Copies of this chain bind each other. A is one copy, B any other.
């Protein structure tokens, strides 16, 4: 059995403890959503007292906002690296759709949906949400602009197209969160939609498998 008895936490450097608390918050958010990122829950997870968590953070609103930003920034980096390995814009765009709609990131989707809701009462979080949305948009816009220059994407406004694309992806993922049933098909028709949006021939975004 584990030790349910609280033993005093070992004294650590502020940097180390601070990192531990941030990591506990991150895992908690991924497992149970941002709503579960609470003073006491983080403290329990990190093996310290609620007072210590409060000691290292200006406020819980800020900690929630930081946790959100960390999670999404990680996701963006990961996907960006994944895309960079593809030969051209069409492959990158197809891979982007596939990887974001394959259901392997539902934990992050929950964080997004809760952030939209909580952001209305947590200004720091709302700012983080806008920031990370902009970061996502920059990545997608880059792919589209590249495609317009070298792969025949047709659009007059790559920025708007990127927003459109992200909105579609977010909505489909949010839906799948609730309609757990046939979630496997959530990306089944988006290739055709995006081809229509960018003036591409039918099937040109299909991936190898």
Interface centre among A113, A117, A121, A190 (most CB of B within 10 A): A117
- For residue A129, CB closer than 8 A to chain B, the reply is yes
Known: A110-B120, A120-B33. A188 touches B174 (CB 8 A): no
* Copies of this subunit: 2
Which 3 A-B residue pairs are closest in the complex by CB-CB distance?
A196-B196, A171-B171, A167-B172
- For residue A66, CB closer than 8 A to chain B, the reply is no
- For residue A178, CB closer than 8 A to chain B, the reply is yes
A45 to chain B, nearest CB (A): 19
Are the CB atoms of A188 and B171 closer together than 8 Å? no
Contacts of A192 in B (CB 8 A): 196-197, 199
Are the CB atoms of B126 and A117 closer together than 8 Å? no
A residues contacting the other copy or chain, number (CB 8 A): 47
List residues of chain A with CB under 8 Å of any chain B CB.
Answer: 33, 35, 110, 113-114, 116-121, 126, 129-130, 133, 155, 157, 160-161, 163-164, 166-175, 177-179, 185-186, 188-190, 192-197, 199, 202
Cα A170 to Cα B168 in complex, Å, equals 8
A169 to chain B, nearest CB (A): 7
Interface centre among A133, A160, A161, A197 (most CB of B within 10 A): A197
